[in-house]
């Protein structure tokens, strides 16, 4: 399922109120880091990732790995990525417009 522009807009407005949950630095993108993102999104559905200048990983590589895990990229701004993964098992799930 691809997100529509209305859905992305709604998620962007939610993301404005949250702080980055992850910072990717010189350690690069590891399996543990990816698992932490997946665990975080299973509880919160939406999150921000900040890429520090010291990271050896390129933005495109990170986006490819996230989308391979069925994580939606809502927006990439400068060194930040807003990510979303729906979890229907949550009590207070994010309701997206159609």
Domain residues of the chain, as ranges? 5-84
Stretch (H or E) spanning 66 = helix 59-68
CB 74 within 8 A of CB 86: no
pLDDT digits (tens, 9 = 90+) for 23-80: 999 988 899 999 999 999 999 999 999 999 999 988 999 999 999 999 999 999 999 9
CB 22 within 8 A of CB 82: no
Q: Taking the complete model, does pTM exceed 0.75, yes or no?
A: yes
Domain 5-84, CATH number (from 2.60.40.1180, 3.30.110.60, 3.30.450.80, 3.40.50.170): 3.30.110.60
Confidence of residue 95 (pLDDT cuts 50, 70, 90): confident
Q: What is the pLDDT of residue 96?
A: 87
Q: What is the pLDDT of residue 84?
A: 97
């Amino acid at each position: 399922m691809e997100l529509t522009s209305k859905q992305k807009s709604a998620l962007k407005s939610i993301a404005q109120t949250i702080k980055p949950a992850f910072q990717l630095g010189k350690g690069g993108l590891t399996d543990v880091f990816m698992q932490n993102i997946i665990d975080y999104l299973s509880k919160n559905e939406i999150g921000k990732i900040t890429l520090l200048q010291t990271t050896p990983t390129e933005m495109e590589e990170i986006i490819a790995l996230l989308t391979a895990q069925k994580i939606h990229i809502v927006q990439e701004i400068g060194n930040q990525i807003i990510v979303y993964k729906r979890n229907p098992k949550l009590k207070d799930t994010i309701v997206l417009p159609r």
